[in-house]
Amino acid sequence: MTTEIGLVTESSGYPSVVRNNRSYILARESRIYSTDVLDTDEESMLQIRMIDDTLITLAKSSHVVIHRYLQKVDAARIEATLTKGAIRATRKHDVENNIEILFSTPIAAIRSFSHDFWASFHDRTLDVIMIDGKEIEVSNRSGKRQVTRPSYGIKVTAGSGPQEPILWNDARISSAISSTHFDSDQ
């Protein structure tokens, strides 16, 4: 049995979900369930508010498989796979819950406890940046790296371990954020 875990708060174009082997177009107020497969094409974007108030935004041309969502009184855990595209996960600073977000990709895994992070997987390269928060860990069979300061990011290319975190310049951060930005974002 699948459980409702979120609600679409923004959509543009025709983002879709595969649920119970059927494809549906998502619009504002559409419900999101554990085990949903989310897709955006080159003309669509999607933003979901999870039941813990975390916002997950999928950029154009993204594919995300939600595997599991677990919630307790003071903690939540989101497990998903990003097979292509870009995502941004944000939550309010005043939320005291311990939110762990796990995204796997074909070349590395992302584990985040941050308030705001962005990740992109394109052309066999994963880029992850902590925009704000506590910690992000990126790991694969070849190694593990952590980001503990805002504006630092990690790159992973196919066949190698995560690179040392580097400071991203403002233009690169703005470009990343704009790929997952709706005009109504606050």
> What's the confidence (pLDDT) of residue 186?
43
> What's the confidence (pLDDT) of residue 113?
87
Helices then strands, counting H and E runs in the chain, come out as 1, 17
Per-residue pLDDT of the chain (186 residues; tens, 9 = 90+): 578 999 999 999 999 999 999 999 999 999 999 999 999 999 999 999 999 899 999 999 999 999 999 988 778 899 999 999 999 999 876 555 578 999 999 999 999 988 899 999 999 999 999 999 889 999 999 999 999 999 999 999 999 999 999 999 999 999 999 999 987 544
Q: Tell me the C-alpha distance between 142 and 18, whole Å.
A: 33
Q: Tell me the C-alpha distance between 48 and 122, whole Å.
A: 22
Domain ranges for the chain: 51-178
Q: What are phi and psi of 139, to 5 degrees?
A: -145, 155
May I ask the CATH class of domain 51-178?
mainly beta
> What's the confidence (pLDDT) of residue 61?
98
Give DSSP secondary structure letters for 27-69.
-TT-EEETT-EEE--TT-EEEEEETTS-EEEE-TT-EEEEEEE
Dihedral of CA atoms 44, 9, 148, 111 in degrees, nearest 10, equals -80
Contact between residue 164 and residue 145 where contact means Cβ atoms under 8 Å apart: yes
Dihedral of CA atoms 96, 103, 70, 34 in degrees, nearest 10, equals 130
Core vs surface per residue 40-61: b (16+ CB within 10 A) or e? beeebbbbbbbebebbbbbbbb
> What's the confidence (pLDDT) of residue 162?
98
pTM of the model: 0.93
Q: What are phi and psi of 98, to 5 degrees?
A: -90, 105
